[in-house]
């Protein structure tokens, strides 16, 4: 289950530059709106120092990291929900991603045109939120119209289910009318399931990406504005310098990349910051399989049981799950080898009810 992330924002905020740097793909970039018409898609490895360490220990034939799918979606403008700037086409692309990476311009440059002729992160965010909320409002009203006709059905169970869904949508509607994302309403688990039937864009979690210039890599007033907005809606904001990321993407040598990051005072590249923040927001976790043939990272949801984790590898593993042999990455680092972990009593046999921890190293036994 790869992390699927749509990069959105106003035109000329640096989406395509960041996408190109993160994926090492060259999306068309130009100093005018709508230079990206069709979404570019890039599959990139998720940085994980633990996987690097596992490969050092096991010396496998293959190293397979978890991956992040980035979709570069063309710039939205005011009126996109009504079709302005090819808005309907772009909005349909957003519906297909798992979460939103909202790129916000946080730098001044008279040579780079801003579609509103001024740099104002708060206003830029409001424009995007309003357009996405209006698009969702249209979807919600069409769904309510269909549900209203469905109430005429005589089946008692279907009628009860329909009434519950209508109640949830009516609860969400005021937020959308105010231009607020649906996920800020605070729906219960059952209510969320009903709301998802309308395929609302603003139910997706949103991560803010502050695109800065070289002088703003450690923050500026624009970044503080975005961080305040992110905190208010229970989200996060990461800072990325598109120029630095583009330069970093062209450096192949690992040592040179490390020196480059140290030279600008950063511990990790923008992709790592973005991906780790996305994992936190979506409550994703990583477990590993490790051996001489392959060391591999796998992505699961927080709270996943052992059979579900097995199913991420192959559906047959989940169907025929017997048990899992489990130990933790921290134990391997402490004791040095798998044999030493076993000798220390840190390797366990776990059954169907075991909740997988982030950093678990697992071997599944199954029967099909």
- pLDDT of amino acid 315: 92
Whole-model pTM over 0.85: no
Most confident of 99-108, 245-254, 356-365: 356-365
pLDDT over threshold 50, residue 342:
yes
Same domain (yes/no): 267, 182? no
pLDDT over threshold 50, residue 30:
no
Residue 180: which pLDDT band, with cuts at 50, 70 and 90? confident
Same domain (yes/no): 137, 271? no
Q: What is the mean pLDDT of residues 277-290?
A: 91
pLDDT over threshold 70, residue 163:
yes
Same domain (yes/no): 15, 92? yes
- pLDDT of amino acid 206: 92
Final residue belonging to a domain, choices 202, 234, 266: 202
Q: Which of 101, 98, 104, 6 is nearest to 282 (CA)?
A: 98
Question: Which backbone phi and psi does 37 adopt, to 5 degrees?
Answer: -95, -55
For the chain, give the mean pLDDT: 86
Same domain (yes/no): 73, 183? no
Final residue belonging to a domain, choices 250, 281, 312: 281
Residue 290 within any structural domain of the chain = no
Task: Answer whether 18's CB lies under 8 Å from 25's CB.
Answer: no
pLDDT over threshold 60, residue 225:
yes
pLDDT over threshold 80, residue 155:
no
Same domain (yes/no): 313, 347? yes
Share of the chain above pLDDT 90, in %: 51
Same domain (yes/no): 23, 76? yes
Q: What is the mean pLDDT of residues 287-293?
A: 96
d(CA 302, CA 282): 9
Residue 20: which pLDDT band, with cuts at 50, 70 and 90? confident
Residue 345: which pLDDT band, with cuts at 50, 70 and 90? very high
Q: What DSSP element (H or E) covers 7?
A: strand 3-8
Same domain (yes/no): 90, 36? yes
- CATH number where 360 lies: 3.10.20.30
pLDDT over threshold 60, residue 37:
no
Q: What is the mean pLDDT of residues 30-50?
A: 66
Final residue belonging to a domain, choices 159, 180, 202: 202
- pLDDT of amino acid 41: 81
- pLDDT of amino acid 279: 86
pLDDT over threshold 60, residue 261:
yes
d(CA 25, CA 6): 16
Most confident of 81-85, 233-237, 266-270, 348-352: 348-352
Same domain (yes/no): 34, 104? yes
Residue 297 within any structural domain of the chain = no
Question: Which backbone phi and psi does 11 adopt, to 5 degrees?
Answer: -60, 150
Q: What is the mean pLDDT of residues 353-361?
A: 97
Q: What is the DSSP letter of 75?
A: P
Q: pLDDT: is 18 or 345 the higher one? A: 345
Q: What is the mean pLDDT of residues 136-164?
A: 86
Rg of the chain over all Cα atoms, to the nearest angstrom = 23
Same domain (yes/no): 143, 239? no
- pLDDT of amino acid 211: 93
- pLDDT of amino acid 2: 63
Residue 42: beta bridge partners? 70
**To 10 degrees, the CA torsion angle through 280, 284, 346, 311?**
180
- CA-CA-CA-CA torsion sign (244, 249, 250, 253): positive
Residue 287 within any structural domain of the chain = no
By residue range, what is the domain housing residue 193?
130-202
Angle made by CA atoms 230, 261, 277, in degrees to the nearest 5: 25
The pLDDT tens digits for 43-88 are: 888 888 999 999 999 999 999 999 888 888 866 666 555 554 444 5
CA distances to 6, 61, 268, 316 from 274, in Å: 12, 29, 10, 33
Residue 74 within any structural domain of the chain = yes
**Structural domain total, the chain:** 3
The pLDDT tens digits for 201-212 are: 999 999 999 999
- CATH number where 135 lies: 1.10.150.300
| Sheet with 284-290, side-by-side order of all strands | 62-64, 294-301, 284-290, 360-366, 321-328, 348-350
The pLDDT tens digits for 300-338 are: 999 999 999 999 999 999 999 999 999 999 999 999 999
d(CA 133, CA 176): 5
């Amino acid at each position: 289950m790869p992390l699927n992330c749509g990069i959105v924002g106003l035109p000329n905020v640096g989406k395509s530059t960041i996408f190109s740097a993160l994926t090492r793909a060259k999306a068309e970039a130009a100093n005018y709106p709508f230079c990206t018409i069709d979404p570019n898609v890039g599959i990139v490895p998720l940085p994980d120092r633990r996987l690097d360490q596992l490969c050092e220990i096991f010396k496998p034939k293959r190293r397979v990291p978890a991956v992040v799918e980035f979709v570069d979606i063309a710039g939205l403008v005011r009126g996109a929900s009504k079709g302005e700037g090819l808005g309907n086409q772009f909005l349909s692309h957003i519906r297909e991603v798992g979460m939103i990476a909202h790129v916000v311009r946080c730098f001044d440059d008279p040579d780079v045109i801003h579609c509103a002729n001024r740099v104002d992160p708060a206003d830029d965010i409001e424009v995007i939120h309003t357009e996405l909320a209006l698009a969702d409002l249209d979807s919600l009203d069409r769904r309510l119209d269909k549900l209203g006709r469905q109430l005429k059905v005589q089946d008692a169970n279907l009628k009860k289910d329909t009434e519950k869904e209508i109640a949830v949508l009516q609860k969400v509607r005021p937020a959308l009318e105010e231009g607020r994302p649906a996920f800020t309403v605070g729906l219960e688990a059952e209510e969320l399931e009903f709301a998802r039937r309308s395929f609302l864009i603003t139910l997706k979690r949103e991560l803010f990406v502050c695109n800065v210039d070289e002088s703003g890599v450690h923050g500026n007033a624009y970044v503080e504005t975005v961080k305040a907005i992110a905190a208010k809606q229970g989200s996060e904001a990461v800072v990325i310098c598109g120029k630095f990321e583009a330069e970093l993407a062209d450096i192949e040598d690992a040592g040179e990349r490390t020196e480059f990051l140290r030279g600008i005072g950063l511990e990790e590249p923008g992709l790592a910051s973005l991906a780790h923040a996305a994992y936190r927001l979506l409550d994703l976790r990583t477990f590993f399989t490790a051996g001489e043939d392959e060391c591999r990272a796998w992505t699961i949801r927080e709270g996943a049981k052992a059979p579900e984790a097995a199913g991420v590898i192959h559906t047959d593993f989940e169907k025929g799950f017997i048990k899992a042999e489990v130990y933790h990455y921290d134990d391997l680092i402490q004791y040095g080898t798998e044999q030493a972990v076993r000798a220390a009593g840190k390797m366990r046999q776990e059954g169907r009810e075991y909740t997988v921890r982030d950093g678990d190293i697992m071997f599944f036994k199954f029967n099909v």
